[in-house]
Amino acid sequence: MKRGTPRHPKVGRLLRELGLNLRNTATAIGHLELLWHFAAEFAPRGDIGKYDDEQIEGALHWHGKRGKLIQALTTSGWVDAHDQCRLAVHDWREHCDEATRKRLQRAGQDFVDVAVKVTGQRQTELDSVADNGSLPEPEPEPEPEPHTQEPACVRVMPRAADMASNDPPSERFEEAWALWPLKVDRDAAGQAWISTVTRSREEAAFACISRYLASDQVKRAVVSKLAGWLFQQARDGFAGDWPVAMREQSR
């Protein structure tokens, strides 16, 4: 995240749109940070609108009314309406990290064209206010060191190819929730399911759940929360395996 973002006027606008106050600034910043990680991993051109609102909000760990966070991000100027990709991260070309730039260069791709935004404007009104001196300009940041790979912290979601529009999120969360022995943080688990399990990954996810539930770890009542478990297993394509319970081995 760029220095100065927490005090940017658009953060205040985002808070108002979400019905929050300044005490919730950390929450708003968290959603923005997750937005940029999501874009870097799954929409490096900035074209996050190739995913539907539910997928994006799941990735941003939004637990409120469906569609409200996307609307707030758009109204406050962090996300732009776009006539080709539906939604684009605002000024992603200027603000993404060096690893994302190099990834696009290697793939022979470019950022989505800001000239074709629905608004036809290069900056939002709030951007102009900041540029006109309402806030002091931050000092230039040092050039980042070259990255040989993208930070591990962004790899908490399935690959973009799995989340394409022709592979929608699985609708079998209730089955998974019924199987899971630790009934904690249902909303977070539901968001994690939407974010990590697509139709093509359902069988792998349920097979992984079965292996985990048959493990010695679960038999000893050492059970992870479903939300965290899903994000962890999605990184490995739901290929995780665990030692089975002793009584299962003796059969």
Enumerate the β-bridge partners of residue 244.
215
- Pair 85, 189 in one domain: no
Distances (CA, A) of 152 to 147, 158, 180, 219, 221: 12, 13, 27, 31, 29
pTM: 0.49
Highest mean pLDDT out of 81-95, 185-199, 235-249 = 81-95
User: Nearest CA to 76 among 19, 3, 133?
Assistant: 19
pLDDT of residue 18: 92
pLDDT confidence band for 1 (50 / 70 / 90):
low
Q: Where does a domain end: 152, 181, 204?
A: 152
The residue-averaged pLDDT of 39-64 equals 91
The residue-averaged pLDDT of 184-194 equals 86
Instruction: Please give the residue that has the higher pLDDT: either 32 or 195.
Output: 32
pLDDT confidence band for 139 (50 / 70 / 90):
very low
Q: What is the token pair recorded at 244?
A: 């089975």
Residue 151 scores a pLDDT above 60: no
Enumerate the β-bridge partners of residue 81.
87
Q: How far apart are the first and last CA of the chain?
A: 54
Question: Which range has the worst mean pLDDT, 40-54, 110-124, 155-169, 210-224?
Answer: 155-169
80 and 90 Cβ atoms separated by less than 8 Å: yes
pLDDT digits (tens, 9 = 90+) for 7-48: 788 988 999 999 988 888 888 888 999 999 999 989 999 999
- Pair 126, 237 in one domain: no
pLDDT of residue 184: 87
- Pair 90, 72 in one domain: yes
- Pair 127, 64 in one domain: yes
pLDDT of residue 247: 60
User: Nearest CA to 193 among 213, 208, 152?
Assistant: 208
- Pair 48, 108 in one domain: yes
Look up the domain containing 199 and give its range.
160-249
- Pair 134, 30 in one domain: yes
CA 11 and chain centroid, separation: 18
- Pair 195, 175 in one domain: yes
Q: Where does a domain end: 120, 152, 184?
A: 152
Distance, CA of 194 to CA of 204 (rounded, Å): 15
- Pair 147, 164 in one domain: no
Residue 60 scores a pLDDT above 90: yes
The number of domains in the chain is 2
- Pair 53, 107 in one domain: yes
Q: Is 33 helix (H, G, I), strand (E, B) or coil?
A: helix
What element of type H or E holds 86?
strand 86-89
- Pair 226, 167 in one domain: yes
pLDDT of residue 24: 85
pLDDT of residue 130: 39
pLDDT of residue 204: 95
Phi, psi of 87 (to 5 degrees): -135, 140
- Amino acid (one-letter) located at 236: D
Residue with tokens 């962004």: 154
- Amino acid (one-letter) located at 99: A
Q: Where does a domain end: 101, 120, 152?
A: 152
pLDDT confidence band for 144 (50 / 70 / 90):
very low
Q: What is the token pair recorded at 143?
A: 């050039």
pLDDT of residue 142: 43
Burial annotation 104-114 (CB, 10 A radius, 16+ → b, else e): beeeeeebbeb
62 and 72 Cβ atoms separated by less than 8 Å: no
- Pair 148, 168 in one domain: no
- Pair 164, 218 in one domain: yes
